[in-house]
Amino acid sequence: MFVLLHQLSLPVMFAAVLVICFVITRIVIGLVRVAIAKGGYVADEALPIRESIVGVCATIFGLMVAFSAAGLWADSLAARSAVQQEADAVENVLVLSSSLPADLQTNVRDNLTAYVAQVISGDWPAMANGEHIESPVFDRSGDILINAIGLVSRQAGTSARPAAYQPLVNQLLAVRHARLLRLSASNTGMSWAQWIAVWIISTATVAAIAICNNHVPRMQILATHIFVVVVTSAYFVILAHDRPFMGQISVQPAAFLSINGLHPVLSGQRP
Alpha helices in the chain (DSSP H): 3-6, 10-38, 52-96, 102-118, 124-128, 137-158, 166-186, 192-212, 217-241, 254-257
Which tens digit of pLDDT belongs to each residue from 166-221?
888 899 999 999 999 999 998 888 888 999 999 999 999 999 999 888 888 899 99
Q: How confident is the model at residue 24 (pLDDT cuts 50, 70, 90)?
A: very high
pLDDT, average across residues 221-234:
94
The residue among 156 and 114 whose pLDDT is bigger is 114
Surface-to-core class of residue 16, CB atoms within 10 Å of its CB (0-12 exposed, 13-18 middle, 19+ buried) = middle
φ, ψ of residue 126 in degrees (nearest 5): -65, -40
pLDDT, average across residues 131-152:
90
The residue among 45 and 119 whose pLDDT is bigger is 119
- Residue 77: what pLDDT? 92
The residue among 154 and 139 whose pLDDT is bigger is 139
Least confident range of 123-132, 210-219, 244-253, 255-264: 255-264
- Residue 213: what pLDDT? 87
- Residue 43: what pLDDT? 67
- Total residue count of the chain as it appears in this document: 271
CA atoms within 13 Å, Cβ hemisphere of 21: 27
- Residue 142: what pLDDT? 92
Instruction: Note the pTM of the prediction, 2 decimals.
Output: 0.81
- Residue 214: what pLDDT? 83
Q: Is the pLDDT of residue 49 over 90?
A: no
Mean pLDDT, all residues of the chain? 86
- Residue 97: what pLDDT? 85
* Distance, CA of 260 to chain centre: 28
Q: Is the pLDDT of residue 258 over 90?
A: no
Q: Is the pLDDT of residue 19 over 90?
A: yes
The residue among 8 and 50 whose pLDDT is bigger is 8
- Residue 90: what pLDDT? 92
